[in-house]
Amino acid sequence: MKIIGFSLNNIRLWENSDNKADLIKYVQQLNIGGIEIAFCCKELETTKFTEEQINWIKSLDYVSIHYPTKSKQENSLELLGKIKYFYDLLNAKAVVLHPDVLPEPEVLEKLDMAFCVENLRRGFSINQLKKIFKKYPKLGFCLDVAHAMCWSEKETSRLIEAFKDKLVQVHFSASNLETDHISASDASDSFFRSIQPVKGIDVPIIIETFFEKKDINAAKKEIEFVKNYMDLI
C-alpha cells in the first residue's frame, strides 16, 4: 500500500518563522502517513522540535528530509552534519538533494544516511542523471512529476524506465508548464496522462502542492484528491 506524505515546504508561508516546528501543528491535522521536512541553511540552526512533535513524526510510516536547495559546496560536510542530527532524531529514511548541489561522493560517504537525487525542471537530462548515478552508485532517485512534465508528457515514464531500480520516493504536484507545484485538482488531461506510470510503483508519494494562503481544508482536499487518484480510497 502506498504511503501518502506531505512536505512542510507546502505551507512555509503559514508562519513567519525560521523554526520548522511551528508548522507541525498544521500537518498533525492531516490524514497522512509520511512527511518531508525541507530545510534552508538557516533553519537547520533555528528549528527546535518539541518532544511531542518528535514522537508524532517518528510515529509516521515515512520521513524524509530535503537538503537545502542553495548551499555552498565548501560547507557541505558541515550542512550534512546538521542534517544528520535531524535524520537520526526523526528516524528519517532518506535525504533528498538537487543534482546541482551534490557534495562530492567522499563527503556523502562520511555519514550514514540514505541519499537520493531529484530530477529538475531545467537542466539535468536523463543522460546527465545517468552520469551522476555512475559517479554516485549508492544514490537513490526521487521522481518529481511536476518537474518531469516541464520536459514533456512522456518524461515521467522515461524517468521511471531509466531509474526504477533506484526509485525511493515521488514528489507529487502538478505543473502547467509555467508554474510548478500547483494543485492536482487543477491539472490538465495531459498531466494526468503523464503520471499514469506512477500508479504502478510502490514508493512513498510526497505531496508538494504549494498553499500560499493558510487554508487547512484546501490541504485536506488535496490529500484526498491524490489518494482518490491513486485508488487509495
Structural domain spans, the chain: 39-204
Question: Residue 50's pLDDT band (boundaries 50, 70, 90)?
Answer: very high
pLDDT greater at residue 73 or residue 200: 200
**Three-class HEC string of the chain:** CCCEEEEHHHHHHHCCCCCHHHHHHHHCCCCCCEEEEECCCCHHHHCCCCHHHHHHHHHCCEEEEECCCCCCHHHHHHHHHHHHHHHHHCCCCEEEECHHHCCCHHHHCCCCCCEEEECCCCCCCHHHHHHHHHHCCCCEEEEEHHHHHCCCCCHHHHHHHHHHHHEEEEEECECCCCCCCECHHHCCHHHHHHCHHHHHCCCCEEECCCCCCCCHHHHHHHHHHHHHHCCCC
Average pLDDT, the chain: 94
Q: With 90 as the cut, is the pLDDT of residue 143 above it?
A: yes
Whole-number pLDDT of residue 1: 67
Whole-number pLDDT of residue 76: 85
Q: Tell me: the pLDDT tens digits for 5-29?
A: 999 999 999 999 999 999 999 999 9
Identify the CATH homologous superfamily for domain 39-204: Divalent-metal-dependent TIM barrel enzymes (3.20.20.150)
pLDDT greater at residue 75 or residue 143: 143
Q: With 70 as the cut, is the pLDDT of residue 73 above it?
A: no
pTM of the predicted model over 0.85: yes
Q: Tell me: the pLDDT tens digits for 173-190?
A: 998 877 789 999 889 999
Whole-number pLDDT of residue 70: 75
Share above pLDDT 90 across residues of the chain, in percent, rounded to a whole number: 88
Q: Tell me: the pLDDT tens digits for 192-202?
A: 999 999 999 99
Mean pLDDT, to the nearest integer, of 210-230?
Answer: 96
Whole-number pLDDT of residue 77: 87
Whole-number pLDDT of residue 176: 80
